Amino acid sequence: MREMEERGQRSNRRLVLVACPYQGHITPMLNLASLLHSKGFSIVIAHTQFNHPHPSGFPNFTFAPIPNCLPKDFLSSGDAAAIFASLNTNCEGPLRQLLSDMMAQDEATESKISCVIYDTLMYCADAAAHYMKLPSMALRTSSIGTQLIFSELPWLRREGYFPPKDHSSKDPVPGAYPLRCKDLPLFNGDPEPMMRVIAMMLDIKTSSAILWNTVDCLEKQLSDQVQKKCHVPFFSLGPLHKVAPASPTSILEEETDCLLWLDKQANNSVIYVSLGSLASMDEREFAETAWGLANSGQPFLWAVRPGSVRGSEWIELLPEGFKEAIGDTGRVVRWAPQKDVLAHRAVGGFWTHCGWNSTLESISEGVPMICRPCFMDQNVNARYLCHVWRVGLEFDVDLDQKEIEQAVRRLMAGEEGKEMRLRAAAFKDQIELSIKKSGSSHTAIEELVNLIISL
């Protein structure tokens, strides 16, 4: 009863959440929004007009588009550093205006904006909130391990370790255990512009707290290390997709029919394959992957995002004879309902690019992985998966069908795979405990709610 009253009182407290317009960022932000809404707060999602979340899945939220935030040709340039820098320069003014309009409306009602919560890649939101004299909090959507190495990049660059001269070198990076040169974050081309964006992202300026989509049973030691250097409270709230009420966070439409196909497969027999929302492959890699999966003899579900095979719209470049060879043992979809897929009893392995959301989603369901990182923080996540948590198989050779076939067999039918599955299952249990009453994430969420109320 008291809890209901408290929730009722919180509904006039608005939280403005500023999302970064990419799937891997939108998902944790929407999950956080659903979580805070379930605690009684009113939610406003401020978002760009491109790659925007779908309001229809969140009838209780207000969606506020940020106008004119990026010239069209920027997006298609694929230059991540230029996109993020420009996004932040262009969004600050419109965000201030948005906040100012909301505050003007609030004067006529009992409502007030309690806090602006922003994805750290949308660092301009901190400045906009500060200008409007509103408290702010930063949401980090990558792992703590990644943030630690990001903060060391200037030093590593000065000392000549970054970017590594040899991207396949297994030499350790001084002071960066467990990372080797090949595990350092990978940027395309000149690293300087991206390092400038990262420096802005790491500096939380006037924010009152840092929120992480991570969980103590994976990163407690690292979080203690970071917390010591951090002058504001620090909350490991995740995995957010497990603590928040289920919500439709996909920008692309999910092909849910594949779940019916999974229903017909044996327990732990299917390997799920996905490169996430940004990574891509060329025609040769695509054909090798196709034959590697087909020849492994293992049932597979392969999410091939439209545009992810360079030079084609979708799967026109599948090799001749592939469809006939696989019959009903494999399914290819454009976009999978990944969280449901990984939670399905038939899925026994995940070939992943090691994005942080995919990493958390797989471990949370006790699914071991074949780790094939592509860029940015994925190398770092892969190293932790394979070497620290030991639930992933390192796949760092050329994409060749024989190698793929063997890796799939090792994970799905080999002794190593069995051991990794047991370790992943143990993490799944620990994560379930973390999100229950008195668990680390549950406690962090309660503390965060109290902090927001006190602002």
357 near ligand UDP, rule: CB under 6 A? yes
Residue type, 77: S
274 near ligand UDP, rule: CB under 6 A? yes
Identify the residue among 269, 338, 401, 434 touching ligand UDP (CB under 6 A): 338
Identify the residue among 356, 384, 389, 427 touching ligand UDP (CB under 6 A): 356
Residue 146: partners with Cβ closer than 8 Å, 6 or more residues away: 185, 356, 377, 380, 381
Identify the residue among 148, 303, 391, 444 touching ligand UDP (CB under 6 A): 303
Q: Give the CB-side neighbour count of residue 74, counting CA atoms within 13 A.
A: 14
379 near ligand UDP, rule: CB under 6 A? no
- We find the least distance from the C-beta atom of residue 132 to ligand UDP, in angstroms, to be 30
339 near ligand UDP, rule: CB under 6 A? yes
**CA pair distance 258, 304, nearest whole angstrom:** 13
Identify the residue among 41, 118, 161, 335 touching ligand UDP (CB under 6 A): 335
Measured in degrees and rounded to the nearest 5, phi and psi for residue 441 equal: -70, -40
User: Do β-strands 270-274 and 347-352 pair in parallel, antiparallel, or remain unpaired?
Assistant: parallel
**CA pair distance 64, 16, nearest whole angstrom:** 9
Q: How many residues touch ligand UDP (CB under 6 A)?
A: 18
- Site pattern 195..234 for ligand UDP (x: CB under 6 A): ----------------------------------------
276 near ligand UDP, rule: CB under 6 A? yes
First-to-final CA distance of the chain: 24
308 near ligand UDP, rule: CB under 6 A? no
Tell me the window of 130-138, 176-184, 199-207, 274-282 that interacts with ligand UDP (CB under 6 A): 274-282
Helix H or strand E encompassing 404 = helix 401-413
The structure tokens listed for 417 are 């795979």
Q: Tell me if 304 sits within 8 A of 273, measured CB to CB.
A: no
Q: Give the CB-side neighbour count of residue 291, counting CA atoms within 13 A.
A: 14
Beta strands in 72-219 (DSSP E): 112-119, 136-140, 210-212
Helix extents (H) in 297-337: 322-326
Asked whether the bond before 239 is cis by omega within 30 degrees of 0, the reply is yes
Tell me the window of 171-179, 270-278, 294-302, 387-395 that interacts with ligand UDP (CB under 6 A): 270-278
301 near ligand UDP, rule: CB under 6 A? no
Within residues 5-24, the interface with ligand UDP by CB under 6 A covers: 23-24
27 near ligand UDP, rule: CB under 6 A? yes
- We find the least distance from the C-beta atom of residue 185 to ligand UDP, in angstroms, to be 13
Asked whether the bond before 373 is cis by omega within 30 degrees of 0, the reply is no
**CA pair distance 399, 6, nearest whole angstrom:** 55
- We find the least distance from the C-beta atom of residue 356 to ligand UDP, in angstroms, to be 5
- We find the least distance from the C-beta atom of residue 271 to ligand UDP, in angstroms, to be 14
Of residues 128 and 303, the one with the C-beta less far from ligand UDP: 303
- We find the least distance from the C-beta atom of residue 269 to ligand UDP, in angstroms, to be 20
Kindly list the residues in this chain that would bind ligand UDP in the complex (CB under 6 A).
Answer: 23-24, 27, 250, 274, 276-278, 303, 335-336, 338-339, 355-358, 361
